[in-house]
Amino acid sequence: MRRAAASLALLLTLAGCGLRPLYGGAASPARAALSQVQVTPIEGQAGWLVGSALRDRLAAVDGTSPRYRLDIKLDDSIIGLGVRRDDSVSRERRTLRARYQLVDLASGLTVVDDTAGSDVGIDVVGSEYATIAAEQSGLERLSGIIADKIVARIALFAQRSTAQ
């Protein structure tokens, strides 16, 4: 009985805290803003992967003109970390960093200027093919992570700008 009362009290407390889903409902400001973002081309293979992941997540509505332009510069690096007795690398870290700017097309002002980054560890094995495949797989995962971070930041901007 006490547990049920405590659970009910907790639910009532959470209901009054003012939390709202960021992407809630078809008419949410975040969802509307995300559908109006145009992603400019990004250089390189990592750029293609990040751009493709962003376009999938932003889901622009066909036939609407974009309100924002998203400019992105990427920095992709691989460094060796572990060294074997024969001085060969045993572990690598692939790091992908993005500097992005969301530009309001009507005013030309940059409304979001931020960075996002992540890294992944890669085991270097005897097979060069396996190592290259692991590096590629790591880049694909990093591209998705970066895209998620950028979309979340833009959605937060949209939510905050409509609340003002």
DSSP assignment of 107-132? T--EEEEEEEEEEEEEE--S-HHHHH
pLDDT at site 54: 94
Q: Using N-to-C axis directions, what is the helix angle for 44-58 and 128-163, rounded to 10°?
A: 40
pLDDT given for residue 79 in this prediction: 93
112 is a domain residue:
yes
Q: Locate 126 and state its tokens.
A: 């005897």
pLDDT interval class at 12 (50, 70, 90): low
Domain count of the fold of the chain: 1
| Per-residue model confidence as pLDDT tens digits over 34-71 | 888 999 999 999 999 999 999 998 876 555 788 999 99
3-class DSSP state for residue 96?
strand
Q: What's the confidence (pLDDT) of residue 142?
A: 96
User: Residue 9: how many CB atoms within 10 A of its CB?
Assistant: 10
pLDDT of residue 14 exceeding 80: no
Looking at residue 25, its pLDDT comes to 55
- Which of residues 155 and 12 earns the better pLDDT score? 155
Domain extent, residue 86, equals: 26-163
Whether 7 is in a domain gets the answer no
| pLDDT attached to residue 21 | 55
- Give mean pLDDT, residues 110-129: 93
User: How does pLDDT run across 84-106, given as a tens digit for each residue?
Assistant: 888 888 899 999 999 999 999 99
Residue 16 lies in a domain: no
Computed over every residue of the chain, the mean pLDDT equals 85
- Tell me whether residue 49 is in a domain: yes
Answer whether residue 15 is part of any domain: no
In this prediction, residue 60 carries a pLDDT of 60
* Residues 6 or more apart in contact with residue 73 via CB below 8 angstroms: 42, 98, 99, 100
Report if residue 38 sits inside a domain.
yes
Q: Residue 149 maps to which CATH number?
A: 3.30.160.150
Check residue 164 and report its DSSP letter: -
Is 122 inside a domain boundary?
A: yes
Q: What is the 3-state secondary structure (H, E, C) of 43-86?
A: CHHHHHHHHHHHHHHHCCCCCCCCCEEEEEEEEEEEEEEEECCC
